[in-house]
Amino acid sequence: MTATPENSKVEASRSGFGIWLDQHLYSFVASLGRVLRRPWTTLLTIGVMAVALALPLGLGLALDNLRHFAGSVEQSREIDLFLKPGIDVARAQALAAELRGRGDVARLELRTPEQGLAEFRARSGLGDAIGALEENPLPSLLIVTPSGDEAGLVAALERLPETGLLQHDAAWRQRLQGWLGFGARLAWVLAALFGLGALLVVGNTVRLDIQSRREEIGVLQLLGATDGFIRRPFIYLGAWYGLAAGALALGLLAAAAYALRAPLHALAQSYGSGFALGGLDPLRAAGFVLAATAVGWLGAWLVTGHFLRQTRPTET
């Protein structure tokens, strides 16, 4: 078969790709070998990076759990409307029917004075004292869940002639939302700061490794090695640091969650809640490890690029 220019180009392309792949595989394995040959230095670097990465992630997880724990509170938009004592049950039922027809009312529950007294007797344990009362002092209660604008509905309910007392917890829920929003922003700021710290740690470690191989790198540059060929093993080295630090950070957070699970479960049970700590789902955990690997890669890339620009041989 006669060789054509097109076949020669294809074979050259395949050969070039094979060389490129071999170089990457060599750098991949060689960088892993350098990590394993210096266990204490490696553990120190990975440990510092893992703690730096785990702190903002832990804060973010704590906020997610707090938001989940307070979710019922945040979503609880009920308005407690206590009617005047003189309003009888029939009028309370008629008013409840009228309010259910409003477009801004999602749900409405009526509790008669008898139901309220029975609930209070069951919860307070003062059955004998309550039984001694000559008449029921409790008014009818309407528990209203808004479907839209709370402010407009609250204003309308306050204007009702049957309204005796209206309780609405919008103000403190808004403060809770504000604190949660501040915590989320704080988590992002800390993530940026500690991510920069992790990047500097891996950069300094790679810099020390470069300094120890300065003569070897100088010979490669004199022989015509490209910057990419020289930089590649160090970039893989930084990626290994980032990958291991991300995995260790997840392990540290898992250990912290295990240590907190039992006391938190006991505390939640004391409030009658079945709340349990939630962790990262597999997709977010994988994304975090990938981000940590990218931090290590970027730190090594920046350091090696600076070093190669400083030591590139000049033609005479």
* Cα-based torsion angle of the residue sequence 176, 182, 188, 193 in order, rounded to the nearest 10 degrees: -140
Q: Are residues 96 and 43 in the same domain?
A: no
Residue 223 domain-assigned (yes or no) = yes
For residues 163 and 178, state if they share a domain.
no
Q: What is the pLDDT of residue 250?
A: 92
Asked if 291 and 198 sit in the same domain, the reply is yes
**Do 96 and 120 belong together in one domain?**
yes
Q: How many domains does the chain have?
A: 2
Query: Angle CA(297)–CA(301)–CA(306) in degrees, nearest 5?
Result: 155
Give the domain-ending residue among 168, 190, 215. 168
Phi and psi of 143, rounded to 5°? -100, 110
Q: What is the mean pLDDT of each run of 10 residues along the chain (316 residues)?
A: 46 56 65 72 85 87 74 61 84 87 84 75 58 66 79 82 79 72 85 86 81 71 68 82 91 87 75 67 88 88 77 51
Is residue 231 exposed (0-12), middle (13-18) or buried (19+ Cβ within 10 Å)? buried
In a domain, 282, yes or no: yes
- Beta carbons within 8 Å of 233's beta carbon, 6+ residues apart: 27, 30, 31, 34
Q: In this structure, are 204 and 299 located in the same domain?
A: yes
Are both 266 and 205 inside the same structural domain?
Answer: yes
Q: For residues 138 and 116, is the Cβ–Cβ distance under 8 A?
A: yes
d(CA 262, CA 13): 61
What span, in angstroms and rounded, lies between the C-alpha atoms of 150 and 154? 6
224: phi > 0 → left, psi -120 to 50 → alpha, else beta; which?
left
User: Are 136 and 264 within one domain?
Assistant: no
Residue 283 sits in the same domain as residue 135: no
Q: Among 149, 168, 187, which residue terminates a domain? A: 168
State whether 100 and 37 are in the same domain: no
Q: What is the predicted pLDDT for the residue at 247?
A: 92
Query: Which of 168, 185, 213 marks a domain boundary?
Result: 168
183 and 218 fall within a common domain: yes
- Residue 38 is assigned to a structural domain of this protein: yes
Q: Which CATH number is 160's domain given?
A: 3.30.70.3040
Please give the order of strands across the beta sheet that includes 79-83. Answer: 105-111, 141-146, 79-83, 163-167
In this prediction, residue 236 carries a pLDDT of 82
Tell me whether residue 254 is in a domain. yes
191 and 57 within one domain: yes
**Taking the alpha carbons of 24, 25, 31, 32 in that order, is the dihedral positive or negative?**
positive
Domain identity same for 90 and 192: no
Host domain of residue 145: 78-168
Q: Tell me, what's the pLDDT at 81? A: 83
